[in-house]
Amino acid sequence: MAFKDNRDFIDALKESGDVAVVNKEVDWDLEAGAIARHASEQEGPAILFERVKDYPDGYRIFATPVGTYRRVAVALGLPADTPIKEVYEVYEKRAENPIAPRVVEGGPCKENKMLGDEVDLYHFPTPMCHDGDGGRYIGTWGFVVCKDPESDWVNWGMYRFHINSQRSLAMSPAPGSNLGALFREKFMPQNRPMPIAAVVGADPLSSIASSAGHPVGQSEVFLAGGLHQEPVELVKCETNDLMVPAHSEVIIEGEILPDVSAAEGPFGEYPGYRSPGFEARLYCRVKGVTFRNSPILTMSNLGVPPDDSHVGGCISISISLKKRLQRKGLPVLDVYQNPEGSAFMLIVRVSEGGPEVVRRIADSFGIRRAWISKIVVVDEDVDAFDMRQVIHALAVKCNPATGILVKETPPGSGNPFSPLVSVEELKTLKGSMAYFDCTWDPKRPKDELPLKSSFDSIYPEEIREKILTNWSKYGL
Ligand SMILES: Cc1cc2nc3c(=O)[nH]c(=O)nc-3n(C[C@H](O)[C@H](O)[C@H](O)COP(=O)(O)O)c2cc1C
């Protein structure tokens, strides 16, 4: 079953025991954020803050919606304890069958409207997530809708944005993001404002889809439909022609101005460190806001893993990279961006390894992927979703002299949020990616490879069966 909105999703999380409802009043200024951060770091439940200081009862915050794979499983309509590998399989299968959206006349997101001078972004209980953040981030698990002026292509992208003033936002799509490129190439040169709609509190699968790195020309709303297994219902904005998910909690309609910039950040970010602030990021003048009765803002309070960015935010990218490698004829079985790696790490499981395969994997990644800095390639007998097995393979099968391949990426491609860059690299934004070959040398004859000393590999089948049949009889 797919959830049209977060309200049904929250009900399902209540049933599976994956959301805590906090009735005690909390302060939007750091308290709600600190609670969400502490809960994320403990892999605790999502949190529904029912009462927020300075705001009417009913104005709520839903924190860390998909910060665990249990919650992603529930979002997909699966049992909460579905193994991660199966969650990926279901996601991949559904993503292969994209479904076009359905336009509807109205929807819950139109229950209230503030237009023109009435707009007041402080109307909502937007949290100050971390100490030192550059503003109150209303977009931490929200996405921005924009459209190519020369085609039907509509882009959804999950980019952070904070309140800049009562009627403006500061936004942070990277220059290489689809919105960033569209704005730079098709609006700025003509000095035209770019219409956008910022969506806060969409259903969980639409939000996950918005973090997918779809190529130019492909709309993420089709992926969202595929994940839901039914069309996403879209409704037209009040002040522009963009379409937004009708069951969202808050829609902020506006335009990004070509000749004004806004200071954006700092923010406690996904690498687990506070990111720098930016002097001149995108300035969005807000023209209208529509919202549901008793709106529920979403908050993902990013930081050290795991949180929504490392879990829900990593699935699409892992699966699209797997497809990309497979299309290039590489013997890739699984690709997994493990939450512990803060999206800086990728596990690639192959049916056949060796330096040539690892080199071809390295050659397949475009510079947009330079933000992933460590790629661990493991053999088929390693479960890519089990970090104990991956770390074991890295420790015992990666030859430090011959098994590490480092590739530099050109200036501008590096990750400005990366804590590991040198002073020089920070200036040029040159990046680098390291590939750890944890696979057998293909030149070694297969029958001469050391046998794994594990229960599954080193005992005859009849012994294993006997042990498993009698397991409880041993008192174990
Ligand atoms: C929680 C979260 C926050 C993100 N914030 C940003 C951001 O501020 N800027 C950005 O460029 N990408 C951000 N990303 C990554 C983008 O969502 C991702 O690169 C996506 O592919 C962008 O969409 P696009 O390919 O249509 O540009 C974020 C991802 C997640 C999961």
SS (H, E, C) the chain: CCCCCHHHHHHHHHHHCCEEEECCCECCECHHHHHHHHHHHCCCCEEEECCECCCCCCCEEEECCCCCHHHHHHHCCCCCCCCHHHHHHHHHHHHCCCCCCEECCCCHHHCEEEEHHHCCHHHCCCCECCCCCCCCEEECCCEEEEECCCCCCEEEECCCEEEEECCEEEECCCCCCHHHHHHHHHHCCCCCCEEEEEEECCCHHHHHHHCCCCCCCCCHHHHHHHHHCCCCEEEECCCCCCEEECCCCEEEEEEEEEEEEEEECCEECCCCCEECCEEEEEEEEEEEEEECCCCEEEECCCCCCCCCCCCHHHHHHHHHHHHHHHHCCCCEEEEECCHHHCCCEEEEEECCCCHHHHHHHHHHCCHHHHHCCEEEEECCCCCCCCHHHHHHHHHHHCCCCCCEEEEEECCCCCCCCCCCCCHHHHHHCCEEEEEEEECCCCCCCHHHCCCCCCHHHHCCHHHHHHHHHHHHHHCC
Reported as a single tens digit per residue, the pLDDT across 41-50 is 999 999 999 9
Q: For residue 114, is it within any domain?
A: yes
Count how many domains the chain has. 2
Residue 178: the pLDDT is 96
Q: For residue 476, is it within any domain?
A: no
Instruction: Give the residue from 245, 270, 292 where a domain finishes.
Output: 292
Mean pLDDT within 209-232: 96
Q: Which has more confidence, 366 or 394?
A: 394
Residue 1: the pLDDT is 60
Q: Are 47 and 63 in contact (CB under 8 A)?
A: yes
| CATH assignment of the domain containing 203 | 2.30.110.10
Lowest-pLDDT range of 187-191, 309-313, 375-379, 419-423: 419-423
| Same structural domain, 194 and 101 | yes
| Same structural domain, 332 and 278 | no
| Same structural domain, 427 and 333 | yes
| Same structural domain, 279 and 354 | no
Q: Which residues surround ligand 1 with Cβ inside 6 Å? A: 141, 155, 157-160, 172-174, 177-179, 211-214, 300, 308-309, 313
- Among 37, 130, 141, 159, the mutation site with the greatest number of ligand 1 atoms within 8 A of its Cβ is 159
Residue 435: the pLDDT is 98
Q: For residue 310, is it within any domain?
A: no
Closest ligand 1 atom to Cα of 160: 8
Reported as a single tens digit per residue, the pLDDT across 257-306 is 999 999 999 999 999 999 989 999 999 999 999 999 999 999 999 999 99
| Same structural domain, 109 and 207 | yes
| Same structural domain, 277 and 344 | no
Ligand 1, atom 23: closest residue by C-alpha: 157
- Among 158, 194, 214, 264, the mutation site with the greatest number of ligand 1 atoms within 8 A of its Cβ is 158
| CATH assignment of the domain containing 408 | 3.40.1670.10
Q: Which has more confidence, 368 or 194?
A: 194
Q: For residue 31, is it within any domain?
A: no
Q: How far is the CA of 63 from the centre of ligand 1 (A)?
A: 18
Q: How far is the CA of 211 from the centre of ligand 1 (A)?
A: 6
Tokens 């069966």, residue? Answer: 465
Q: Is the pLDDT of residue 426 over 90?
A: no
Ligand 1, atom 12: closest residue by C-alpha: 159
- Among 72, 211, 256, the mutation site with the greatest number of ligand 1 atoms within 8 A of its Cβ is 211
Q: How far is the CA of 399 from the centre of ligand 1 (A)?
A: 35
Q: How far is the CA of 175 from the centre of ligand 1 (A)?
A: 11
Q: For residue 36, is it within any domain?
A: no
Q: Is the pLDDT of residue 442 over 80?
A: yes
Q: How far is the CA of 329 from the centre of ligand 1 (A)?
A: 28
| Same structural domain, 335 and 237 | no
| Same structural domain, 375 and 443 | yes
| Same structural domain, 288 and 363 | no
Query: Measured between alpha carbons, how far is 171 from 421 in angstroms, rounded to an integer?
Result: 24
In terms of Cβ atoms closer than 10 Å to its own Cβ (0-12, 13-18, 19+), residue 56 is: exposed
Residues spanned by the domain of 332 = 328-457
Q: For residue 40, is it within any domain?
A: no
| Same structural domain, 204 and 333 | no
Q: For residue 372, is it within any domain?
A: yes
Report the mean per-residue pLDDT for the chain: 96
Closest ligand 1 atom to Cα of 220: 26
Ligand 1, atom 21: closest residue by C-alpha: 213
Residue 175: the pLDDT is 87
Ligand 1, atom 7: closest residue by C-alpha: 159
Q: How far is the CA of 206 from the centre of ligand 1 (A)?
A: 14
Q: How far is the CA of 44 from the centre of ligand 1 (A)?
A: 24
Q: For residue 365, is it within any domain?
A: yes
Q: How far is the CA of 179 from the centre of ligand 1 (A)?
A: 10
Q: Are 101 and 225 in contact (CB under 8 A)?
A: yes
Query: Measured between alpha carbons, how far is 254 from 247 in angstroms, rounded to an integer?
Result: 19
Residue 2: the pLDDT is 84
Q: How far is the CA of 371 from the centre of ligand 1 (A)?
A: 12
Q: Look up the pTM and report it.
A: 0.96
**pLDDT band at residue 420 using 50, 70 and 90 as cut-offs:** confident
Reported as a single tens digit per residue, the pLDDT across 343-385 is 999 999 999 999 999 999 999 998 778 889 999 999 999 999 9
| Same structural domain, 285 and 351 | no
| Same structural domain, 433 and 383 | yes
